[in-house]
Amino acid sequence: MAVLAITAASALIIRKAAAPKPPEFTTGHSGTRMVMGTFANITAVAEDEKTIAESIEAAYKQLVAVDEMMSDYKEDSELSVVNREAYERPVQVSEPLFDVLQTSVAYSKLSGGAFDVTIGPVVQLWRSIDKKGTRPTDEEMAAARARVGYEKLILDDEKRTVRFAEPGMLLDLGAIAKGYGIDRAIEAMQAAGAAGGLVDVGGDIRCFGISPKMTRVWRIGLDNPDGSGDIPMVLNLSDTAIATSGDYRRFVMLDDQRYSHIIDPAAGSSANGLTSVTIIASRAVEADALATAVSVLGQKKGLELVESVGNTEAVIIPGGSGLEFIKTSGADAFID
């Protein structure tokens, strides 16, 4: 008996000695960089500095590539070519752009048209307020609104072409391209060998794997919309994305009134309602599209929409005096 016991114990020691040492990770940061008209911060966790540097550069490269393809501010972007030519002829586009357009149409259907990438003509009109300082006339607004409608966007998946059913249509991917870019950046970091990472573009974020604290949890603070720099809520995220939309982020001032940069396609005008809408979802593209859709739909319909989508939660700050949070049923699981 005694001998047997000793044998078992030595076997254990030998097995222990042969077990590989757990890897040690270090963390690197990109520093703040500009892309998509905002700030990007990338964090990578890996076993060595080379992998960290390569992961960060691979992620940033994806963000730049998506921006170059999908920006409506850049005249030579693929999106701008579509906007100029898709009424005249079906324009064949790259797989990423086609993918985003298909995803966009799916979110338009899901949100009953609250999210609509054909919103371009109305967005352009409201952007011109900034330059002219006057409100568009009712005629101008009606004309722009008449050119909006995702059902007028013709996508041919076999030929991968895009066509506009009416003249004057314009695509605007401002509500979804950031999320798409973040997802591509995360995939690039994983392919480059990072054990963990986080990509933050203007406060829209996705994280994966090991965090700098060597756990699987990334702690993400939610900004107070009052601009005070306070963090009124902390979320614990693992392999998850968040995106925030809302009035407080970007707006146009006219005659002392604030106009949100988010448009209600049904009304053809600025969707002034919720101060901040944060969506938690597995992919950043979903979080981004839904955050915009909920901003348009408002609290009640917006919450209903998010509750109807699996694995997705919302934290809404309606605005007004005081800081109130309205949450979907599963959001508390992410809140610190």
- How many other C-beta atoms lie within 10 A of the C-beta of residue 235? 22
Alpha-carbon separation of residue 221 from 30, 33, 334 (angstroms):
19, 20, 11
Q: Residue 115 binds which entry of Mg ion, ligand AMP, none, with Cβ cut-offs from 5 to 8 Å by kind?
A: ligand AMP
119 binds, among ligand AMP, Mg ion, none (CB under 5 to 8 A by kind): ligand AMP
Q: CB of residue 117 vs ligand AMP: minimum separation in angstroms?
A: 6
Give me the least distance between CB of 210 and ligand AMP, in Å please: 29
CA distance 244 to 313: 12
Q: Which partner from the list Mg ion, ligand AMP, none does 70 bind, CB cut-off 5 to 8 Å by kind?
A: none
Nearer to ligand AMP by C-beta: 25 or 115? 115
Residue 242 interacts with which of ligand AMP, Mg ion, none, CB < 5 to 8 Å by class: none
Write down the H helix ranges in 174-298: 177-191, 284-297
- Contact status, residue 62 vs residue 42, Cβ threshold 8 Å: no
Instruction: Tell me the closest approach of the beta carbon of residue 204 to Mg ion, in angstroms.
Output: 8
Instruction: Give the footprint of ligand AMP on this chain (CB under 6 A).
Output: 115-117, 119, 123, 172, 174-175, 245, 261-263, 265, 288, 291-292, 295-296
Contacts of 188 (CB under 8 A, 6+ apart): 55, 58, 59, 61, 62
Tell me which residue of 192, 157, 153 sits closest to 61, measured CA to CA: 192
Query: Which of ligand AMP, Mg ion, none lies near 222, with the C-beta cut-off 5 to 8 A by kind?
Result: none
Distance CA 39, CA 116 (A): 25
Instruction: Work out what residue 86 binds among ligand AMP, Mg ion, none; the CB cut-off runs from 5 to 8 Å by kind.
Output: none
Residue span binding Mg ion (CB under 5 A) among the ranges 80-88, 121-129, 160-168, 239-247? 239-247
Q: Is 175 in the site for Mg ion (CB under 5 A)?
A: yes
- Regarding 183 and contact with Mg ion (CB under 5 A), the answer is no
Q: Based on the shown chain and the rule CB under 5 A, indicate whether residue 241 belongs to the binding site for Mg ion.
A: no
> Is 291 a binder of Mg ion (CB under 5 A)?
yes
Distance of alpha carbon 314 from alpha carbon 319, whole angstroms = 15
Q: What angle do CA 142, 146, 149 make, to 5 degrees?
A: 140
> Pick from 271, 274, 259: which is nearest to 128 by CA?
259
What is the number of the residue whose Cβ is closest to ligand AMP? 174
Q: By CB under 5 A, tell whether 288 contacts Mg ion.
A: yes
Residues lying near Mg ion in the complex (CB under 5 A):
175, 245, 288, 291-292
